[in-house]
Structure 1
Amino acid sequence: MNFLRKQLDKIKPNFDKGGKFEKYAPAFNGIDTFLFVPNHTTKYGAHIRDGIDLKRVMITVVIALLPALIFGMWNVGYQNMGDGKEFWDYFIFGAIRFMPMIIVSYGVGLGIEFAYAVFRGHDVNEGYLVTGLLIPMIMPIDLPLWMLALSVIFAVILGKEAFGGTGMNILNPALVARAFALFSYAPYMSGNTVWVADSVADGVSGETILGSLAGGTTPAYSWFDMFMGYVPGSVGETSVLMILIGAALLLFTGIASWRIMISCLLGAALMGLLFNAIGSETNELLNFPWWQHLLAGGFAFGLVFMATDPVSAAQTTKGKWIYGFLIGIFAILIRVVNPTLPEGMMMAILLMNVFAPTIDHYVVEGNIKRRKKRLQKVNA
């Protein structure tokens, strides 16, 4: 690493002000700060010293994603090859199918990020470190790579850079990518075949739990299968156990909001209980046990890694309770009422992303009014 540090320091003057490649300084600085901790300090004015910065936050989230990622790649092999194989047979099969998706996601996304940084003359933001991994983790394993690339382009340009880049976007970029793919290439985003790539085992079905329920049939998977992750689905969403391990890290480090997580669970449980009380002879989703809704599909993954996005979520304390609760309500509502969208979590989070600023606005206005009333009582 010392050798690499010396080489970067040797060519750095070319990217400084007045240097030959001054215009491309943002791209160089982005690579430099990604590889090494910045070696400069604030020279003017007051500044805060803290052990956490944007890069450390993003790397922590990536680490929290690793359990679900590793298990998801194993599960891709397991769902395709069936029983009777070794761990590494499943894992290598899944890794071979999934790694190109990661390469395309990071290659296309970071390419756009660097281009925008050079064009605008600002430093490259670290926000895409997480988004670049989230996007392939919520896509079907059989999605053609060119469709994935177009989804990434749409998400980065219109879902993020159009608003000013990292920290300015009102929608979660990863979910924007999935929404674009869903509405643009629906046959590749739903059905029984997209979740199982090139199956080599006889009798393997790629039908997801929510897909079978929406089709009026009872799923062949138990709640234990759903919790452990032995079910078809995208790489990130199958194992609730692995997702909970990541959630524990995010909560321990204070990066994710426990208020959003708990309120979202409460909202989903309430709506699930309501639908169970209503019941139906034709809609199996109405009869699906409320607590199993919390294990099925992408609910857990969306709850931990999407709903808690610190940029697109509500910022006020009370607003987080309202925001999370409504996500849980709408996620189950969309699942049950709209048979064309049996997942529901993605749309619920995007919907509440739009209303998060409004929620915060009214929370703040309510606090101001209460303080004014207290002030009037004091002065009376």
Structure 2
Amino acid sequence: MSDAKQNEIFLSSSPHFSAKMKTQYIMATVLFATLPECVYGVMLYGLQALVTILVAVASAVAFEALFQLVTKKKIRIYDLSAAVTGVLFALVLPPSIPVWMTILGAAVAVIVGKGLFGGLGQNTFNPALTGRGFLVISFAGVMGASWVTPANSVVDAVSSATVLSSIKAGTFAVTNDNLWQLFIGNQAGCIGETSALLLLISFCFLLLAHIIDWRAPLAMVATVAAGTFIASLVAGQNVMQSLTSVALALCTGGLLFGATFMVTDYATTPVTKPGRLVFGFGCGLITFLIRQFGGYPEGVMFSILIMNAVAPFLNKLTVRKYGYGKKALRRPQPKVLVQEFNVAQAKTEETK
């Protein structure tokens, strides 16, 4: 009886977890994993980054409570999902974004990205990226000019450009010191996306805590790395130069942040293991194509949102049918599937 109690399933809105892995526990663990990025973002960009994070979280929680109140649903902000949405949304924003724009984006993330789809676990698109996508499309000029260059950055402070933009424009000079500065996160970018080192630590923590699965993140990063390496070789670079291009692709933009916190989202990614691999590959391929050939320097947000729409199809495509697969060969098969019955020769009692 005690074992059954420990493995009790709570049939609320999906995703469903046993008593050992409640939604609140998972969200709290994700919040803890974002602390290094939050602290480093404030250290790098100052008070304006802290204000953005606090405003985004408060707005997300408030709008979720208001939406649930208006739609006469039980207010469930204690599950911390709105707080996670707010933090992730803040961490993918430029540090000097206006406060009113942060509030507007948080409203779109919570209401449009999650609430209108039915709430936690029923949304098709990642809420934080939905809010950011709305801001990028609606206020492209502001979103593209709100970068703050930290002291000793690898990009000239006058340019107010991200490293990805400089690379695409062909104005970025690569040195060993530059690569190290990029790895630790001393560069212009979104509040929580700059430090590859901290993102790797967060990824390992979530993986060891059994909160995320490795398949989609690894497939996404490996696809971008492979595509960048091949494209560099085709462009005439030698092997070492191509490896440097791969390092730049991994340490800049939102690739590692997206791989750690976005493609591991339960509600908007496939539930099957093969589906997660295909999902990650698709995200990586679209990201690489936009970076390499698109007019926008970064493609992580667009790639994840596009693949979010494909995730339900991947679930249906990759789910194993009962009776098929590796274990099906060990299942005993009947020798006679259909036995013929001759009605003409049957007795009268048998045909009634």
TM-score category by the smaller chain? 0.7 to 0.9
Where in structure 2 are the equivalents of 1:29-40 lying within 5 Å? none
TM-score (norm 1): 0.74
Q: Which residue of 290, 312, 331 corresponds with 1:357? A: 312
What CA distance in whole angstroms lies between the structure 1 residues aligned with 2:298 and 2:150? Answer: 24
Residue type of the alignment partner of 2:126 = N
Aligned to 2:232: 276
What CA distance in whole angstroms lies between the structure 2 residues aligned with 1:159 and 1:310? Answer: 15
Aligned to 2:255: 299
Aligned to 2:98: 144
TM-score (norm 2): 0.80
Q: Answer yes or no: is 1:312 the counterpart of 2:264.
A: no
SS in 2 for 1:356: helix
Task: Return the offset for 1:197.
Answer: 7.4
Residue type of the alignment partner of 1:52 = M
Task: Return the offset for 1:290.
Answer: 2.2
Task: Return the offset for 1:313.
Answer: 1.0
* Contact 1:263/1:328, CA 8 A, preserved across alignment: yes
What CA distance in whole angstroms lies between the structure 1 residues aligned with 2:34 and 2:275? Answer: 26
Aligned to 1:86: none
Where in structure 2 are the equivalents of 1:24-63 lying within 5 Å? 47-48=8-9, 50-63=19-32
Q: Answer yes or no: is 1:65 the counterpart of 2:34.
A: yes
Q: Which residue of 287, 308, 311 corresponds with 1:331? A: 287
Runs of 4+ in 1 over 3 A off after TM superposition: 46-49, 366-377
* Contact 2:113/2:125, CA 8 A, preserved across alignment: yes
Q: Answer yes or no: is 1:258 the counterpart of 2:214.
A: yes
* Contact 1:59/1:129, CA 8 A, preserved across alignment: no
Residue type of the alignment partner of 1:242 = L
Encode CA deviations 1:186-227: one digit per residue, 9 max, x unaligned: 111114xx211799x9x6242211111222322467221111
Q: Flag the 1:245–1:287 CA change in 2: closer, same or farther, 3 A.
A: closer
Larger Rg: 2
Aligned to 1:124: 76
What CA distance in whole angstroms lies between the structure 2 residues aligned with 1:319 and 1:277? Answer: 30
What CA distance in whole angstroms lies between the structure 2 residues aligned with 1:62 and 1:255? Answer: 12
Q: Answer yes or no: is 1:195 the counterpart of 2:147.
A: yes
What CA distance in whole angstroms lies between the structure 2 residues aligned with 1:289 and 1:197? Answer: 22
Aligned to 2:350: none
What CA distance in whole angstroms lies between the structure 1 residues aligned with 2:144 and 2:173? Answer: 16
What CA distance in whole angstroms lies between the structure 2 residues aligned with 1:72 and 1:373? Answer: 52
Where in structure 2 are the equivalents of 1:141-220 lying within 5 Å? 141-191=95-145, 194-196=146-148, 204-205=157-158, 206-219=160-173
Q: Unaligned stretches of 5+ in structure 1?
A: 1-43, 77-93
Q: Which residue of 235, 245, 253 corresponds with 2:201? A: 245
Task: Return the offset for 1:155.
Answer: 1.6
What CA distance in whole angstroms lies between the structure 1 residues aligned with 2:111 and 2:149? Answer: 29
Report the identity percentage.
Answer: 30
Residue type of the alignment partner of 1:227 = F
Q: Answer yes or no: is 1:74 the counterpart of 2:35.
A: no
What CA distance in whole angstroms lies between the structure 1 residues aligned with 2:249 and 2:149? Answer: 26
The worse-fitting range, judged by mean Cα deviation, of 177-186 and 324-333 is 324-333
RMSD after superposition: 2.9
SS in 2 for 1:378: coil
What CA distance in whole angstroms lies between the structure 2 residues aligned with 1:290 and 1:166? Answer: 36
